[in-house]
């Protein structure tokens, strides 16, 4: 039996004027498969292959892209050891925020939370740029309709908003169906590519000699963006059926699937196109490299289906990142780090206020880019909105993962009674922190390349500032709360545990 109140939150409800928190079993809907699907949807398999892999081959001119996915997968798997171990003891929709707050310090946690909010928003909103261009191009080529890119975006924002305030398992089911179809199309592409192999099947793309050359930093920078979203499992911990088992299993499963699948698929692209023709073809055709290949070797129907699924792939990523942003807003609002009204949830237990705020941000940014790009090249939303925002978001998330690795060490060091093994409490997090710090440095060093620029411009500094400045502001805000509202400060990063001590009579 549950207690109904006017201010529910995912996984719990509080009675007015009381400190009691009651968990709703019916709101814990997500199992390992559902959470894994939410994670993989955020990485958008078909989008990574058609958009990310082709761009990486074209920009870097390195054949070792498949090997880079395996290397990055290994790095993130090591990161996941400590991350999963901590998830068994910290159940919080704020994920990174809670981990850093409890593992390093509350000011660092608040700073990290604002970096996470900005990073996820940049990733989510940036993808709308590619979505708008793709749908607009598809309508033009198939039906002769000249639709501005921002119209499909506004419609998509509305659909995502509806899913965002409904039951989270509804989103999982929608994403599950879309991701399954994506996998099927990419598997068909892979099989046919290895069968065609105009220059024969070669293992050169998996050779270290094809990767560790000048430009390897850019390859790793592009590659890490393909994994973004895998770390979001912990965000759903308050809605998982058994968070102590669901979150670690979903995280490990997602990393393994993403790494192997992208490595094989990018290898298939190199073999199917032919290593000697690959870079030129990728540069001239971009995403169409995949669809043209399918059209020529499988049939027009499959190629057109793949193009539609390319759009749904983007849509799946948009829903997944939207859910992540909404839950960060909820978590911070619940602890009064940001306005308390952001903890409001829908009757389904979804973070309604956070969802609506994220929707508003997406609308404002889309309108801004639409006005700025009026009359510009059709590729404008891809070259600016998509490229700029998603690369900046990936930069922020890599930085956060490096910090979280350090937080894992601090968390278990302060809680020796948990008797966590040395590997998961110290060694793996330390290796992960160093490796992710190196990847972050490579992203910074190759940021102009990632933005498609030959030299630095104001954008080269503005985008990183959008990540770093909120983090610094968050630290100072937490220090102010420590003096002005010490009771509130003590609850930072402790989720429902901290909420239990909250009284409505307290000055928030």
The single-letter DSSP state of residue 64 is: -
pLDDT at position 508, please?
35
| Average pLDDT of the segment spanning 330-358 | 86
Distance CA(194)–CA(204), nearest Å, equals 14
Closest CA to 367 of 128, 58, 183: 128
Distance CA(271)–CA(199), nearest Å, equals 7
| Average pLDDT of the segment spanning 215-228 | 83
Confidence of residue 496 (pLDDT cuts 50, 70, 90): low
In sequence order, the 6+-apart residues with CB closer than 8 A to the CB of 461 are: none
Candidate ranges 58-62, 157-161, 219-223, 320-324; pick with highest mean pLDDT? 157-161
Confidence of residue 59 (pLDDT cuts 50, 70, 90): confident
Contacts 24+ apart (CB under 8 A), 362-371: 362/124, 362/125, 362/128, 362/157, 362/160, 363/154, 363/157, 365/125, 365/128, 365/389, 366/125, 366/128, 366/132, 366/150, 366/153, 366/154, 366/157, 367/150, 369/129, 369/150, 370/148, 370/149, 370/150
Residue 287 phi, psi dihedral angles, 5° rounding: -55, -30
Confidence of residue 73 (pLDDT cuts 50, 70, 90): very high
Candidate ranges 239-248, 267-276, 369-378, 481-490; pick with highest mean pLDDT? 267-276
pLDDT at position 365, please?
96
The single-letter DSSP state of residue 502 is: -
Q: Across-strand partners of 13?
A: 22
Confidence of residue 66 (pLDDT cuts 50, 70, 90): very high
434, exposed or middle or buried, with CB in 10 Å at 0-12, 13-18, 19+?
middle
pLDDT at position 253, please?
85
| Average pLDDT of the segment spanning 112-137 | 91
Q: What do you get for the CA distance between the two ends of the chain, in Å?
A: 30
* pLDDT over threshold 50, residue 42: yes
Contact 411, 107 (CB under 8 A): no
pLDDT at position 166, please?
76
In sequence order, the 6+-apart residues with CB closer than 8 A to the CB of 165 are: 346, 348, 350, 352, 355, 356
* pLDDT over threshold 70, residue 10: no
* pLDDT over threshold 70, residue 295: yes
CA 42 from centroid of its chain's CA atoms:
5
In sequence order, the 6+-apart residues with CB closer than 8 A to the CB of 13 are: 2, 3, 4, 5, 7, 21, 22, 24
* pLDDT over threshold 70, residue 201: yes
Closest CA to 330 of 338, 318, 319, 322: 338
Out of 16-20, 79-83, 470-474, least confident range: 16-20
* pLDDT over threshold 80, residue 196: yes
| Average pLDDT of the segment spanning 469-496 | 89
256, exposed or middle or buried, with CB in 10 Å at 0-12, 13-18, 19+?
middle
* pLDDT over threshold 50, residue 162: yes
- Give residue-wise pLDDT tens across range 395-443: 898 899 999 999 999 999 988 777 678 999 999 999 999 999 998 988 8
pLDDT at position 232, please?
63
Confidence of residue 223 (pLDDT cuts 50, 70, 90): confident
Distance CA(111)–CA(453), nearest Å, equals 30
pLDDT at position 16, please?
34
The CATH architecture to which 28-491 belongs is Up-down Bundle (1.20)
Confidence of residue 228 (pLDDT cuts 50, 70, 90): confident
- Give residue-wise pLDDT tens across range 251-268: 888 888 889 999 999 999
Rounded to two decimals, the pTM is: 0.80
Which of 474-502 are b and which e, b meaning 16 or more Cβ less than 10 Å from the residue's Cβ?
bbebbeebeeeeeebbebbbbbbebbeeb
- Helix 243-273 with 216-227: angle, nearest 10 deg: 130
Which ranges in 298-414 belong to alpha helices (H)? 300-334, 352-372, 380-381, 387-414
pLDDT at position 233, please?
65
pLDDT at position 369, please?
95
Tell me which of 298 and 247 has the higher pLDDT.
298
Tell me which of 136 and 96 has the higher pLDDT.
136
101, exposed or middle or buried, with CB in 10 Å at 0-12, 13-18, 19+?
buried
pLDDT at position 284, please?
84
* pLDDT over threshold 50, residue 145: yes
Tell me which of 449 and 348 has the higher pLDDT.
449
Tell me which of 28 and 339 has the higher pLDDT.
339
| Average pLDDT of the segment spanning 438-456 | 83
CA 469 from centroid of its chain's CA atoms:
20
| Average pLDDT of the segment spanning 37-62 | 81
pLDDT at position 7, please?
33
Q: What is the percentage of the chain residues whose pLDDT exceeds 70?
A: 85
Secondary structure of residue 228 in the 3-state scheme: coil
- Give residue-wise pLDDT tens across range 317-335: 888 789 888 888 888 888 8
* pLDDT over threshold 50, residue 307: yes
- Give residue-wise pLDDT tens across range 364-380: 999 999 999 887 778 88
pLDDT at position 111, please?
94
């Amino acid at each position: 039996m549950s207690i109904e109140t006017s201010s529910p939150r995912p996984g719990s409800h509080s009675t007015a004027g009381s400190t009691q928190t009651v968990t709703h079993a019916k709101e814990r809907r997500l199992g390992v498969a559902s959470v894994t699907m939410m994670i993989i949807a955020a990485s958008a398999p078909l989008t990574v292959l058609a958009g990310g892999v082709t761009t990486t081959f074209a920009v870097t001119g390195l054949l070792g892209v498949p090997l880079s996915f395996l290397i990055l997968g290994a790095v993130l798997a090591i990161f996941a050891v400590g991350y999963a171990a901590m998830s068994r003891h910290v159940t919080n929709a704020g994920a990174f925020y809670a981990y850093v707050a409890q593992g390093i310090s509350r000011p660092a946690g608040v700073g990290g939370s604002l970096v996470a909010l900005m990073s996820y928003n940049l990733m989510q909103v940036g993808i709308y740029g590619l979505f708008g261009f793709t749908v607009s191009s598809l309508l033009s080529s198939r039906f002769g309709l000249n639709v501005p890119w921002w119209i499909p975006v506004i419609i998509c924002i509305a659909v995502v908003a509806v899913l965002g305030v409904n039951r989270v398992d509804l989103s999982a089911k929608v994403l599950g169906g879309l991701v399954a179809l994506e996998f099927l199309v990419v598997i068909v592409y892979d099989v046919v590519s290895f069968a065609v192999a105009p220059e024969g099947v070669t293992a050169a793309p998996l050779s270290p000699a094809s990767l560790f050359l000048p430009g390897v930093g850019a390859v790793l920078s592009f590659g890490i963006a393909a994994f973004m979203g895998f770390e979001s499992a912990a965000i759903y911990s308050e809605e998982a059926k058994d968070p102590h088992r669901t979150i670690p299993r979903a995280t490990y499963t997602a990393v393994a699937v993403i790494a192997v699948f992208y490595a094989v698929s990018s290898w298939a692209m190199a073999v199917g196109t032919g290593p000697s023709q690959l870079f030129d073809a990728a540069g001239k055709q971009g995403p169409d490299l995949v669809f043209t290949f399918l059209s020529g070797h499988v049939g027009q129907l499959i190629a057109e289906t793949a193009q539609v699924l390319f759009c749904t792939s983007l849509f799946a990523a948009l829903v997944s990142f939207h859910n992540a942003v909404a839950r960060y807003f909820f978590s911070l609002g619940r602890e009064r780090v940001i306005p308390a009204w952001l903890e409001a949830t829908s009757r389904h237990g979804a973070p309604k206020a956070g969802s609506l705020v994220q929707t508003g941000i997406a609308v404002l940014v889309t309108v801004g880019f639409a006005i700025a790009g009026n009359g510009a090249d059709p590729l404008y939303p891809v070259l600016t909105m998509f490229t700029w925002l998603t690369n900046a978001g990936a930069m922020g998330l890599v930085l956060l993962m490096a910090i979280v690795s350090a937080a894992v060490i601090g968390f278990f060091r302060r809680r020796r009674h948990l008797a966590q093994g040395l590997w998961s409490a110290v060694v793996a997090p330390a290796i992960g922190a160093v490796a992710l710090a190196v990847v972050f440095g490579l992203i910074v060093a190759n940021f102009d390349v990632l933005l498609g620029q030959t030299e630095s411009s104001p954008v080269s500094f503005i985008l990183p500032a959008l990540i770093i400045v909120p983090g610094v502001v968050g630290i100072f805000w937490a220090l102010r709360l420590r003096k002005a509202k010490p009771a509130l400060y003590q609850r930072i990063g402790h989720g429902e545990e901290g909420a239990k001590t909250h009284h409505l009579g307290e000055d928030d």
